Amino acid sequence: MKKIILYSAVLLSVNLIFAQKNKSEKPNIIWIMAEDMSTDLECYGLPDVKTPNLNKMASEGIRFNNAFVTNPICSPSRSSMMIGTHQVKTNTHNHRSNRNVPLDTQFKPFTKLLRDAGYTTILGHHGVMNKGRKIDVNFKNKPIGEWDGKTKFGLFDKYDTFEKEDQPFFAQIQCVVTHRGPWWNEVREQSKHPVNPKTVNMPPYMADHPAVRLDWAKYLDQIEYMDNEVGMIFKELEEKGMADNTIVIFIGDNGRCNIRGKGYLQDPGLRIPLLIHYPKNIKAGQVSNQVVSATDITATIVDYAGVKVPDYMTGQPIFSKKFDREYVYGARDLWDEIEEKSRAVTSADWSYIRNDKPEVPYDAHQAYLEFYRPAVHVMRKLYKEGKLNENQKPFFEPSKPVEELYDLKNDPYQLHNLATNPKYAKILKKLRKETICFDKKMEPVSDIYEPIITKGPELVEWVKKTYPKDYQRMVNGEEIGYKHFSNLYKKYHKN
C-alpha cells in the first residue's frame, strides 16, 4: 500500500513538473489596439508621420497590407474580435446595444478559452493614456471576474500589469490617444515636432482647407504619441526579461475618425494596420498581401495558445497551412441615432458595397460626428457653396448609391464608382452574389434588439440654442469639446 501511495505521489510530482514546464513554454501574447486608425503609419508609406517603434516592429516581424475589420465602428468590431465570430452572426452588430443580453450559449469570449488553457488574462496597461482598459462589446460582460456565460460574465483576470509570475499571459491594451478626445490639442502642444499642416499630404477626397489640414495634422500627432507608447511596452518586456517569448500584435480597432473612415464601408473605415512581432517564430521583414479579417487575428491568438479553434469561430489562424480567405465580409448597422444597413465584400483588388438604405446619406448629421469631425462642417459648407470637386462631393450628396464597386488596384482612393459601368457587370454580379452568400452564412442567432438611446441630437440642439458662438466655432471647423458641453448639459438638466 505504501509503495502505491509513493508511486502515486511521484507520478503526481512528475505531472506537475511537466505541466509547469509545458505552461512556461507557451508564448505570452500582447494585443495592442490603436483606436480609430487606418494604415496611417510610416511603415505603410505615409510620408508625414514618424513611427520608429512600429517601423522596428514591422522590420523585425510581418506587416499585412490587406487586413480589414468586419465593421467600421468600435463596439461591433470589438464584439467580433472578442468572440472570433462575425458580429452579425452573434447578433452583436448594432452599436452600443444588447449590453444586458448574455451571449448565445454556443459562443464564448476568446479570453475564456485562454484562461482554460492556463493563461493569465490582463486588461490595459499602467503606462498608456487612460490605462487602455476599453472593452466596449455588445453583450453582457464585466471587465474582471470569472465567466460561465450564465451568471458570471468576467472577461479578464486582472488590470494593467504583466509580471513573470503571470506567464503565460495574454494582455489586451487599448491606445486611446488616436480616438477623438479633449487631449488632441494638448498632445500637439507638447509634441517636440508637431506635424506641419501646410505641407501635410491628404487624400484627394478631403478639401484643401486650413481647418481640414490642421485637423489631419493633429491626427498624425496622436499617432506619433501612440508610437511612443508601443515603444514603452517593448522596453518593459525587455527589462522584465520576457521579450523573447512574447508575441506582440498591433492593429487598429476600426478606421480613422474622418471623412469616409470610421462608420463607413469604404477602405478608410475597414482597412487597418496589422503587424505581428515574434522573432522566435516569424522571419524578419516579411510583407504579406494575404487578405485577413479581424476575426482571423482572434483565431490566430487562440491557435498560438495551443487551443483548438472552435467551430463557431468565423476566423481562421493566419499562419495555418489551411488558411484560405479571399474576401472579408463587412457590415454597417446602427450607429448611435442613425439607423443604417449596408453590407460589403472586400478582396485584395476589389471593394463592393451594397447600401440597403440609400435614402440615409453618408453625411447624416449624426450628433457624435458634429462634435468630432471638423472636416465635415467645413466641407458641408463648401458643398452648399458648390466649391467641392467631383472627388469630394459624393460624401455630401443627399443619398447614397444602391451599389458601389471600386477597383482598389487602380483606384485605391475609391474615387470612381464602377457599379453602373457595363464593362464591369461581370465582377459586379460576382461580388453581389458573394455578399448574398455571406448574408445567409452570417444570419443572426437571434433578433433581440436593445439599443442604448443616445442623447446626442438633443445636445447639439441645446448647444446651438444656448451657446451660439461656440456652435458657430464648431461649424467653422473647430472642435469645441464634446465632453465639456455634455457635462454642462447634464448640469443644466440636473438643476
Q: How many domains does the chain have?
A: 1
Residue 437: helix, strand or coil by DSSP? helix
Would 342 be classed as within a structural domain?
no
Q: Is the pLDDT of residue 359 over 80?
A: yes
Q: Is the pLDDT of residue 265 over 90?
A: yes
Would 449 be classed as within a structural domain?
no
Q: Is the pLDDT of residue 424 over 80?
A: yes
**Is 299 within 8 Å of 316 (Cβ atoms)?**
yes
Give CA–CA dist 187/225, Å, rounded. Answer: 7
Percent of the chain with pLDDT over 70: 95
Compute CA distances 167 → 76, 119, 243, 248, 249, whole Å.
30, 7, 12, 15, 17
Would 405 be classed as within a structural domain?
no
The average pLDDT across 315-325 equals 97
Q: What is the pLDDT of residues 172-195, one digit of tens each?
A: 999 999 999 999 999 999 999 999
Q: pLDDT tier at 25 (50, 70, 90 boundaries)?
A: confident
The average pLDDT across 376-397 equals 98
**pTM of the predicted model, to two decimals?**
0.94
Boundaries of domain holding 245:
27-325
The average pLDDT across 395-420 equals 98
Q: pLDDT tier at 303 (50, 70, 90 boundaries)?
A: very high
For position 158, which CATH number holds? Answer: 3.40.720.10
Q: What is the pLDDT of residues 142-159, one digit of tens each?
A: 999 999 999 999 999 999
pLDDT at position 494: 87
pLDDT at position 439: 98
pLDDT at position 20: 44
Which cell numbers in the block locate residue 223?
499617432
Q: Is the pLDDT of residue 425 over 70?
A: yes
Would 356 be classed as within a structural domain?
no
Q: What is the pLDDT of residues 30-44, one digit of tens each?
A: 999 999 999 999 999
- In the β-sheet with 350-355, what is the strand arrangement from edge to edge? 328-332, 342-346, 350-355, 403-407
Q: Which of 181, 182, 213 is nearest to 195 (CA)?
A: 213
Q: pLDDT tier at 11 (50, 70, 90 boundaries)?
A: very low
Torsion of CA 450, 456, 461, 464, to 10 degrees: 180
Q: pLDDT tier at 19 (50, 70, 90 boundaries)?
A: very low
Q: Is the pLDDT of residue 334 over 80?
A: yes
Q: Which residues contact 494 (CB under 8 A, 6 or more apart)?
A: none
**Is 257 within 8 Å of 73 (Cβ atoms)?**
no
Would 156 be classed as within a structural domain?
yes
Would 388 be classed as within a structural domain?
no
Would 14 be classed as within a structural domain?
no
Q: pLDDT tier at 18 (50, 70, 90 boundaries)?
A: very low
Q: pLDDT tier at 350 (50, 70, 90 boundaries)?
A: very high
Q: Which of 203, 215, 207 is nearest to 385 (CA)?
A: 207
Q: Is the pLDDT of residue 253 over 60?
A: yes
The average pLDDT across 65-90 equals 98
pLDDT at position 21: 42
Q: pLDDT tier at 7 (50, 70, 90 boundaries)?
A: very low
pLDDT at position 259: 97
pLDDT at position 374: 96
Percent of the chain with pLDDT over 90: 93
Would 332 be classed as within a structural domain?
no
